[in-house]
Amino acid sequence: MKACLINGMLIEDSTHAIDVMDRGLQYGDGLFETLRVANGAVRFWDAHYARLQSSCERLDIPAPTAIQLQNEASQVIGSTRDAVLKIIITRGVGGRGYRSSTKSLPTRIISLHDLPIALPLDGGIEVRWCNTRLARNAQLAGLKHLNRLEQVLAQNEWRDDSIAEGLMMDTEGELICATAANVFVVSSGVLVTPDLRFSGIRGVMRTQVLAAAQTLRIEIDERALWPDELSTASEVFVGNAVRGIRSVVKLEQQTWSVGSVARSIYEHLQLSQ
């Protein structure tokens, strides 16, 4: 971690920073955003803030203002050119057991981290299937909340660095996402992505990809996606806010090339910059 601000205070000792009774720790009672700092600016800030605000609303946690968050983000970023910015909002401290106190003040944690080593789109990535399934709950679907044990268990299924991501199904067998990215499939020229009505995170990059596709007049279909549809797909790619878009070139016995749809969206979103 490069820097961290908690409730507006710069943290000098990150190892003794959080209240042991914070509901984020006690129950996973909160949400987060992971943002890409590129050339000193936060990419897709408005989209991240809009999602944070709507997620807070769904969980009934008061959202910080955009101005406050933006000021604090700037303070943490300083003169850093390229990094990952993480914002956590928890319901704060207080309440008796699971029930929160109406008087609790949310906790705001804004931290800056080194960028993971990224490969250009052209390389493509190898992915695998995860055994860990995603539970279905429409009430929580789409939210980037702090209950992420399924993703942790899924990523812990492999340690081979040549495999960059794992695809996850929900408990009914629908293909939902990669462990830390949304998934997109091109089939008969149509860009298909899971509708996330029961599980998965509605990623900021997902929204950007769909908007770019619309501008580029690529037909879009948000619907239930099943694993066997990969066998007839002409392209598969994954996307998240930090790593942008990455084409899948290998999944077990299946292989693909980096396709024209991924490439045109990648270029349209200027993700190489």
Residues that bind a copy of itself (CB under 8 A): 1, 4, 6, 11, 13-29, 32, 59-60, 88, 90-91, 93, 96-100, 102, 109, 111, 116, 132-140, 145-156, 159, 171, 179-180, 199
CB of 205 to a copy of itself, least distance (A): 15
Nearer to a copy of itself, 157 or 267 (CB): 157
Contact 166, 158 (CB under 8 A): yes
Sequential DSSP letters for 55-106:
HHHHHT-PPPPHHHHHHHHHHHHTT-SSEEEEEEEE--B--BTTBPPTTPPP
CB of 198 to a copy of itself, least distance (A): 8
CB of 162 to a copy of itself, least distance (A): 15
Strand-pairing partners, residue 87, are 33, 110
Contact 168, 130 (CB under 8 A): yes
Nearer to a copy of itself, 24 or 259 (CB): 24
Residue type, 65: T
Q: How many degrees, rounded to 5, is the angle at CA 7 between CA 4 and CA 13?
A: 40
**What are the CA-CA distances from residue 14 to residues 18, 19, 73, 104 (Å)?**
8, 12, 17, 23
CB of 107 to a copy of itself, least distance (A): 9
Nearer to a copy of itself, 13 or 228 (CB): 13
CB of 36 to a copy of itself, least distance (A): 14
Nearer to a copy of itself, 18 or 220 (CB): 18
User: Tell me, what DSSP letter sits at residue 225?
Assistant: B
Structure tokens at 89: 């909002």
Nearer to a copy of itself, 7 or 264 (CB): 7
Q: How many degrees, rounded to 5, is the angle at CA 260 between CA 128 and CA 262?
A: 50
CB of 192 to a copy of itself, least distance (A): 24
Nearer to a copy of itself, 46 or 58 (CB): 58
- How far apart CA 78 and CA 61 sit, in angstroms, is 28
Nearer to a copy of itself, 242 or 249 (CB): 242
User: Tell me, what DSSP letter sits at residue 49?
Assistant: H
CB of 200 to a copy of itself, least distance (A): 12
Name residues whose C-beta falls within 8 Å of residue 169's C-beta, 6 or more positions apart in sequence.
129, 130, 133, 134, 175, 176, 227
Residue type, 16: H
- How far apart CA 183 and CA 163 sit, in angstroms, is 16
